[in-house]
Amino acid sequence: MQIIAHRGASGLAPENTLKAMALAIELGVSAIELDVQQADGELWVFHDRRLERCTDGHGVLAQQSRAYLARLDAGEGEHIPTLWQVMALIGGRCELHIELKGAHTAKPVAALTRRAESELGFTPAHWVISSFHHPELARFARLRPELRLGALTANLPLQHARFAEQLGAWSLNCDVDFVDAGLVADAHRRGLRVLVYTVDEPSDRDTLAAMGVDGIFTNRPDRFS
Ligand code: G3P
Ligand code: MG
């Protein structure tokens, strides 16, 4: 079962920061997940729509200027990194699951993945692009059809993994609260991997492994080495 560091090693360092990414690499993970949003023409690695929970700033991230976002404290003196800064830190040392958090991310992320392949040692096989925003994911697929897609769901869909197959995804990424053996079997019948978020307890990993789950996103990759 693949272990994917969720927002970097976010149980051990401030989530989605360079510190969390560096720690995940140190722990030897084979993949890291992060969240991406756009503001003021830049791609920022940040989960929430608003700034309050994870920084000393205020307001909606997408409405802020570069100068404002760059000076915020994202915990332990870390700043909100840009996607390019994280790519430069990782430099092709592990797979990167890039979650498109909203509209207007597909096009700049497609461009940045191409640039990282020519300048930072990544290959197309390093990327998995995921989203709950299925139209944005479909837009990404039209821009870079050769890359793997992760179709995210936070519920148990009526038609199981059908939506992920329709998107042409490589994986169905689902919530640990809703995944069941029927969903896993249906996804596998459709040729999809099943990745489950967020799993921090080793006993949950064992239950999911028995269901046939292929990978987990965890805030605590140190517990699964
Ligand atoms: O990609 C898995 C997981 O990160 C999706 O949910 O809210 O943690 O971004 P969230
Ligand atoms: Mg995420």
Whether the CB of 47 sits within 6 Å of ligand 1: yes
Per-residue pLDDT of the chain (225 residues; tens, 9 = 90+): 999 999 999 999 999 999 999 999 999 999 999 999 999 999 999 999 999 999 999 999 999 999 999 999 999 999 999 999 999 999 999 999 999 998 899 999 999 999 999 999 999 999 999 999 999 999 999 999 999 999 999 999 999 999 999 999 999 999 999 999 999 999 999 999 999 999 999 999 999 999 999 999 999 999 997
The pair of structure tokens assigned to 60 is 């909606």
The 10 Å CB-count burial string (b at 16+, else e) for 172-187 is bbbebeebeeebbebb
139 lines ligand 1 (CB under 6 A): no
Q: For residue 143, tell me if it sits in a domain.
A: yes
Ligand that lies nearest to the alpha carbon of residue 198, given by its number in the listed order = 1
For residue 132, count other CB atoms closer than 10 A to its CB: 15
Which of 6, 97, 133, 160 is an active site residue?
6
Q: Is residue 66 in a domain? A: no
82: CA distance to ligand 1 center in Å?
Answer: 18
Q: Residues with Cβ < 8 Å from 202, sequence gap 6 or more?
A: 223, 224
- Output the CA–CA distances (angstroms, integers) from residue 166 to 7, 38, 150, 169, 192, in the order listed: 27, 26, 12, 8, 11
For residue 185, give the CATH number of its domain. Answer: 3.20.20.190
3-state secondary structure 93-135: CCEEEEEECCCCCHHHHHHHHHHHHHHCCCCHHHEEEEECCHH
Q: Which domain holds residue 114?
A: 2-47+82-224
140 lines ligand 1 (CB under 6 A): no
Q: Whose CA is nearest to atom 5 of ligand 1?
A: 197
Ligand 1 centroid distance, CA of 197 (Å): 7
Predicted TM-score (pTM) of this structure: 0.98
What lies within 8 Å, CB to CB, of 99 at 6+ separation is 33, 34, 35, 36, 130, 131, 150, 152
**Pair of tokens at residue 5:** 């560091």
**pLDDT score at 102:** 80
Q: How far is the CA of 181 from the centre of ligand 1 (A)?
A: 21
User: What pLDDT was estimated at residue 58?
Assistant: 98
Flag whether 106 is in a domain: yes
Whether 127 is covered by a domain: the verdict is yes
pLDDT score at 142: 97
Q: 35: Cβ below 6 Å to ligand 1? A: yes
Given a contact cutoff of 8 angstroms between Cβ atoms, the answer to whether 180 and 172 are in contact is no
Domain assignment present for 59: no
Is residue 6 among the annotated active site residues?
Answer: yes
Total domain count, the chain? 1
User: Is 63 part of any domain?
Assistant: no
Shortest-distance Cα residue to atom 7 of ligand 1: 47
Report the separation in Å between the CA atom of 4 and the middle of ligand 1, taken as the mean of its atom positions: 11
Q: Is-catalytic flag, 104?
A: no
Q: With respect to residue 61, please indicate whether it lies within any of the assigned structural domains.
A: no
In a domain, 20, yes or no: yes
